[in-house]
Amino acid sequence: MKTFLVTLGNKKKGKLTEDLLHRHIDHLKHLKQNGSLLMCGPFVDESGAMMIFRCHSSNKVKTLVSKDPFIVEQYYGTYNVAEFLDANEENNWLLDAPQTKGNL
């Protein structure tokens, strides 16, 4: 499994309805229950939001995000998907990763 950061942007302030919010939350709950969504939330400055996924491919992430009511209803006008390397104890904080060694 790979790890992906999704950033959501171009928020349509003043366009959020209670119905849209509940449909979005139901979508997030489903993603969390199936193990795809690790965490998510809005930026404090209200400029956008982020989601972190564990999936096999960026295409799968794009499919999941494109079904989010916030995207379908264009509450967020744009999103970007980027794969990243999850540095942690299990992989020695990426000390032995080719990307790390290639930058030394």
CA 77 to mean position of chain CA atoms:
15
Contact in structure between 15 and 29 (CB atoms under 8 Å): no
Q: What is the pLDDT of residue 101?
A: 85
Q: Could you tell me the residue ranges of all domains in the chain? A: 2-102
Indicate the class that CATH gives domain 2-102.
alpha beta
Segments of the chain scoring below 70 in pLDDT: none
Q: What is the pLDDT of residue 48?
A: 96
> Cα(50)–Cα(39) distance, rounded to whole angstroms?
8
> Cα(25)–Cα(27) distance, rounded to whole angstroms?
5
**Token representation of residue 18:** 């209670």
> Cα(10)–Cα(47) distance, rounded to whole angstroms?
7
Q: Would you call 26 exposed, middle or buried from its count of C-beta atoms within 10 A (0-12, 13-18, 19+)?
A: exposed
Contact in structure between 20 and 69 (CB atoms under 8 Å): yes
